[in-house]
Amino acid sequence: MHFGEHLTIDGYGGNKKLLDNKNLLLKILNNLPSLLGMKILLEPQVVYASGNNKKDPGGWTGFVIIAESHISIHTFPLRGFVSIDVYSCRNGLDTDFLIKYFKEKFDLKDTETNFIKRGTRYPGKNLY
């Protein structure tokens, strides 16, 4: 038994207009939890993060807190790049669905993914 599952998706070659669309991020963060059977605890937040003249040229950062944990999206439109985290305390995350979903939403040409089982030593009962 493990506590939860964490999928990270790094997307490459995405459509600049889609990656630079605040409303698209809000729509994703409002709709995706219900598609996964999860419950939103707080309204999604999307803010613009300015570049730092180093490796980060700026982009949108979005986050939604769900009862099962969180989903975050960080876009870098000028680089055609997006960094996504989907973390859930529920097991059985549909990784194939999520990868396909984000590929379509941002018109990604390539993805790099990591899947992590979290809390592999999570206690089966209360300790205190």
Catalytic status, residue 50: no
Task: Indicate the burial class of 4 (C-beta count within 10 angstroms; 0-12, 13-18, 19 or more).
Answer: middle
Catalytic status, residue 69: yes
- Which of 2, 74, 83, 88 is catalytic? The answer is 74
- Which of 50, 69, 70, 72 is catalytic? The answer is 69
Q: Which helix (H) or strand (E) holds 38?
A: none
- Which of 70, 72, 83, 89 is catalytic? The answer is 89
Residue 93 CA to residue 2 CA, distance in Å, equals: 13
Q: Where are the alpha helices (DSSP H) in 2-127?
A: 16-19, 22-35, 95-106
- Name the residues annotated as catalytic: 69, 74, 89
